[in-house]
Amino acid sequence: MSDPSERKLAIICSKGSLDMAYPGLILANAARMAGVDAMIFFTFWGLDLIHKDKCDHLHVATVGNPSMPMPTMLGGLPGMEAMASSMMRKQMASLEIPTVREFITMLDETGTEMYGCRLAMEMFKYDRSDLLPEVKDVITAMDFIEMTEGAQTIFV
C-alpha cells in the first residue's frame, strides 16, 4: 500500500441537489482522515454547494431520480420536493451529519483545497464574493487538471 501522504484525490462536484452534495464532501473528508491530499472542483450546479446564499437551501430531486421511493408523478406534486428535503435534513441531523456549510468549513480546516469553476461562474454570472470564504480560488478546468496531475479523480 502506498504512503497516504503521497496520494492525492481530486473530486469534481457538478450537482447541486442535497442528495448529491454529500458524496463528494464525504469522500474528501475520508481522504483527509486517511492523510490523503484532497481537492474539490465545483462546477455547474455544484457551485450551489459553495454559494453563500444557496448552500443552506439545497433540495432533494424528487423528479427524475430513479432511486426516489415514490412514483415520478407524485414527486412533481407541489410541496413534495420540500417535504422530501425536510425529511432528509431531519434524518441527517439525527445521525449528526454536518450541514453542507458545516462540512465545507470542516474540510477547509483539515486542509482540503476547494475551487470554483471560472467558466460556470461566468455562465451563472456569479462573483467571487458570492462564494463561501473557504473556497481557495476560482480557476479554469485546465488549471484543475494541471494541479491534480497523478491524482485519483472522482466525478460526482
* Domain residue extents for the chain: 6-60+100-155
Identify the pLDDT of residue 78. 73
Give me the sheet containing 137-139, strands edge to edge: 137-139, 113-117, 37-42, 8-13, 152-155
Identify the pLDDT of residue 67. 67
Identify the pLDDT of residue 75. 57
* Pair 145, 68: CB distance under 8 Å: no
Quick one: what percent of the chain has pLDDT higher than 70?
87
Say which CATH architecture domain 6-60+100-155 belongs to: 3-Layer(aba) Sandwich (3.40)
State the distance between the two ends of the chain, measured CA to CA, in whole angstroms.
Answer: 26
Nearest Cα neighbor of 41 from 4, 67, 9 is 9
* Pair 36, 1: CB distance under 8 Å: no
What is the rounded distance in angstroms from the CA atom of residue 119 to the CA atom of residue 78?
A: 33
* Pair 6, 149: CB distance under 8 Å: no
Q: For strands 8-13 and 137-139, give the pairing.
A: unpaired
What average pLDDT score do residues 72-89 get? Answer: 72
Angle at 142 (CA atoms; ends 139, 144), nearest 5 degrees: 60
Residues 6 or more apart whose CB falls under 8 angstroms from that of 4 comprise: 34, 35, 36
What average pLDDT score do residues 39-66 get? Answer: 90
What is the rounded distance in angstroms from the CA atom of residue 133 to the CA atom of residue 153?
A: 24
What is the rounded distance in angstroms from the CA atom of residue 60 to the CA atom of residue 143?
A: 31
pLDDT of 48 > 60? The answer is: yes
